[in-house]
């Protein structure tokens, strides 16, 4: 139930104007379980209006020079940076993540997304080749595609939304974005900066609401020729079906079941804190989080003891507390889903070393109904268990032993996903050998989550289609044409 405080009311942002909606959905503060915000429950009509605005804005925006567009993106970045604290507070309240993480990762990275694409758009070149014997030359040109449909999830709300909006705009497209209905606040706040930054009306439209209603209206609209989606694999299946009749360009960034492989020659002093972080950062709600830890038998007992000790120090509490490492999970339904995996593991005879059902979580009275859980470590579990095969997307990780390099590569690859992996070893040859054989779009060795935005980001197998990054995003958000000139 809503408290006595007035609820925050969001509005759609279409054609440079904030517009109310005929119906709304409740949005909860994950740290208290209370409704604190109402999000427009948009549908087909709002998408029609947004498509009209985005189509009208397209000729003007796409014909601006890259330098002009770059200047506007840099303005957005500057304004966002000036409001960093306000955005970080809002992101933490809306998503449940710690304020410290929103301050140091989510919002700074959102600023960086605009700056990065403002810069990279200035440095693309095209190809040219000659056929002297036929007296002709060929060259390529790239042009913006049109109205880009961008759909993002709830785990890194502004970070992932701007990772799509910035490259789409930089390349000259106009945009209709739909953030997750669970975390819409910072996207709405961003709209307030756009006009000030000089973004013309209709270039960026943000339409709020649920996937089945407004998401599907966007995906199936014939005048939205490309969809960039980050979210779950089942939703990607639906989006693929809906866009197939229109032959849309699709970029799909999906889930993972990411392994960490820890060899006996790993530096455990570095590996253990990094693996605690890779398992539980952002409540384990990062697509790149580790959820299967394979440890070589000779160091298994030592690793497990130290890993559990370090996990127990990973404090859970109210997101604004500077001493906590983990805040609340996104929703009650998600918390229940994550807990259900632990019940299933127990039913299969697994052992829970710490966390859910083992340790007690103490919370202030006003946060008792929040969606908190302790980081949980599972052992004695089979590779075929759902906890080892399915994406849990919460603070739960499984630790299992292995014998040989060949064996662990096969077991690590034995899931439908292929997003990210980490390898820990001080043997340089082994690190390269294993990295090459892992079926994974990203492999971190002796580290985790160090990103170079120029390089391709994305997954293989059921973790997605396409890559994002300087060149990859540019390729996706433009159409290429080959021109032949006979001389
Ligand atoms: P989700 O698929 O439920 O929702 C993602 C977005 O799609 C939301 O905006 C949602 O409203 C929308 N949506 C839902 N149904 C839709 C439909 N039928 N048509 C159009 N849009 C629809 O995912 P989620 O629960 O928000 O996010 C968690 C998932 O995202 C996890 O699987 C996680 O691994 C993945 N993820 C992947 C990456 C990556 O870069 N690979 C990054 C972050 C999250």
230 within ligand 1 shell (Cβ under 6 A): yes
Ligand 1 within 6 A of CB of 448 = no
Residue with tokens 């209206």: 217
Most ligand 1 atoms within 8 A of CB, residue of 163, 180, 231 to mutate: 231
Q: For ligand 1, is residue 95 a contact (CB within 6 Å)?
A: no
Q: Is the CB of 231 under 6 A from ligand 1?
A: yes
In sequence order, the 6+-apart residues with CB closer than 8 A to the CB of 301 are none
Chain centre to alpha carbon of residue 111: 16
81 CA distance to ligand 1 middle (Å): 26
Tell which one of 25, 42, 232 to mutate to probe ligand 1, the residue whose CB is within 8 A of the most ligand atoms: 232
Tokens describing residue 447: 């580290």
Nearest CA to ligand 1 atom 14: 211
Structural domains present in the chain:
8-255+463-486 (3.40.605.10), 258-445 (3.40.309.10)
> How far is the centre of ligand 1, averaged over its atoms, from the C-alpha of 231 (Å)?
2
CA of 155 to the centre of ligand 1 (A): 9
SS (HEC) of 252-285: EECCCCEEEEECCCCCHHHHHHHHHHHHHHHHHC
Whether 356 lines ligand 1, by a CB cut-off of 6 Å, is no
How far apart are the CA of 252 and the centre of ligand 1, in A? 10
* Residue 313 Cα distances to 91, 266, 326, angstroms: 25, 22, 11
Ligand 1 in reach of 29 Cβ (< 6 A)? no
418 ligand 1 Cβ < 6 A: no
CB contact at 8 A, 416 and 237: no
The pLDDT score that the predictor gives to residue 431 is 98
The CA distance from 434 to 430, in Å, is 6
Residue having the nearest C-alpha atom to atom 40 of ligand 1: 253
Residue 232 Cα to ligand 1 midpoint, Å, equals 4
How far is the C-alpha of 236 from the C-alpha of 202, rounded, in Å? Answer: 27
Tell me how far the alpha carbon of residue 375 lies from the centroid of ligand 1, in angstroms: 23
CA gap 62, 127 in Å, rounded: 21
ipTM of the predicted assembly exceeds 0.90: yes
**pLDDT for the residue 4:** 60
Question: Does any ligand 1 atom lie closer than 6 A to the CB of residue 417?
Answer: no
* Ligand 1 centroid – CA 480 distance (Å): 29
Contacts of 48 (CB under 8 A, 6+ apart): none
**Ligand 1 atom showing the smallest separation from residue 234 Cα:** 2
pLDDT at 5: 76
Q: How far apart are CA 280 and CA 277, in angstroms?
A: 5
Tokens 């590569």: give the residue: 409
Whether 406 is catalytic is no
Place of tokens 């952002």: 282
Rounded distance from Cα 463 to ligand 1 centre (Å): 12
Question: Rounded to whole angstroms, how far apart are CA atoms 275 and 294?
Answer: 11
Q: Is 212 in the pocket of ligand 1 (CB under 6 A)?
A: yes
Ligand 1 proximity of 236 Cβ (cutoff 6 Å): no
Beta bridge partners of 464: 253
The verdict on the CB of residue 161 being under 6 Å from ligand 1 is no
**Which residue's CA is minimally distant from atom 9 of ligand 1?**
180
Rounded Cα distance, 277 and 154, in Å: 20
Atom of ligand 1 nearest to the CA of 464: 41
Mean pLDDT, the chain cut into blocks of 10 residues (487 residues total): 75 98 97 98 98 98 98 98 98 98 98 98 95 96 98 98 98 98 98 97 98 98 98 98 97 98 98 98 98 98 98 97 97 98 97 95 96 98 98 98 98 98 98 98 98 97 97 98 96
CA of 151 to the centre of ligand 1 (A): 8
Counting from 1 in the atom list of ligand 1, the atom nearest the Cα of 219 is 20
Give yes or no for a contact between 325 and 316, defined as CB atoms under 8 angstroms apart: yes
Question: Does any ligand 1 atom lie closer than 6 A to the CB of residue 238?
Answer: yes
Residue of minimum CA distance from atom 6 in ligand 1: 153
300 lines ligand 1 (CB under 6 A): no
Which residue out of 253, 285, 356, 391 is catalytically annotated?
253
């Amino acid at each position: 139930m809503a408290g006595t405080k007035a609820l925050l009311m969001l509005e759609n942002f279409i054609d440079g104007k904030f517009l109310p909606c005929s119906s709304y959905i409740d949005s909860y503060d994950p740290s208290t379980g209370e409704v604190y915000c109402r999000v427009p429950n948009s549908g087909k009509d709002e998408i029609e209006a947004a498509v009209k605005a985005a189509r009208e804005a397209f000729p003007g925006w796409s014909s601006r020079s890259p330098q002009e567009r770059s200047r506007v993106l840099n303005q957005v970045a500057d304004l966002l940076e000036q409001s960093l604290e306000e955005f970080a507070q809002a992101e933490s309240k809306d998503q449940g993540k710690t304020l410290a993480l929103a301050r140091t990762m989510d919002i700074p990275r959102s600023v960086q997304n605009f700056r990065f694409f403002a810069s990279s758009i200035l440095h693309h070149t095209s190809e040219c080749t000659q056929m002297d014997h036929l007296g002709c030359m060929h060259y390529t040109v790239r042009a913006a595609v049109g109205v880009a449909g961008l759909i993002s999830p709830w785990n890194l709300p502004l970070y992932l939304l701007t990772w799509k909006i910035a490259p789409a705009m930089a390349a000259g497209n106009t945009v209709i974005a739909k953030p997750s209905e669970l975390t819409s606040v910072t996207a709405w706040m961003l709209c307030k900066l756009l006009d000030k930054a000089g973004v013309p009306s209709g270039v960026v439209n943000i339409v709020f609401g649920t996937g089945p209603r407004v998401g599907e209206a966007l995906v199936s609209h014939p005048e939205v020729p490309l969809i960039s989606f980050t979210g779950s694999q089942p939703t990607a299946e639906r989006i693929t079906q809906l866009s197939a009749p229109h032959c849309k360009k699709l970029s799909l960034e999906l889930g993972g079941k990411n392994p960490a492989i820890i060899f006996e020659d790993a530096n455990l002093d570095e590996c253990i804190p990094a693996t605690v972080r890779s398992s539980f950062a952002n409540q384990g709600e990062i697509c790149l989080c580790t959820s299967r830890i394979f440890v070589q038998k000779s160091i298994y007992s030592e690793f497990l003891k130290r890993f559990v000790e370090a996990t127990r120090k990973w404090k859970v509490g109210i997101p604004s507390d500077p001493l906590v490492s983990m805040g609340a999970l996104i929703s009650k339904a998600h918390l229940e889903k994550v807990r259900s995996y632990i019940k299933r593991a127990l039913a299969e005879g697994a052992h829970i070393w710490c966390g859910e059902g083992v340790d007690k979580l103490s919370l202030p009275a006003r946060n008792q109904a929040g969606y908190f859980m302790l980081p949980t470590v599972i052992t004695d579990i089979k590779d075929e268990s759902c906890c080892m095969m399915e994406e849990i997307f919460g603070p739960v990780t499984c630790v299992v032993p292995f014998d040989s390099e060949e064996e662990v590569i096969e077991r690590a690859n034995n899931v439908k996903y292929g997003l990210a992996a980490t390898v820990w070893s001080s043997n340089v040859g082994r690190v390269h050998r294993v990295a090459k054989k892992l079926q994974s779009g990203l492999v971190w060795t002796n580290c985790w989550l160090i990103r170079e935005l120029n390089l391709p980001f994305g997954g293989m197998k059921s973790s997605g289609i396409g890559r994002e990054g300087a060149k990859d995003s540019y390729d996706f958000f433009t159409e290429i044409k080959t021109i032949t000139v006979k001389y």
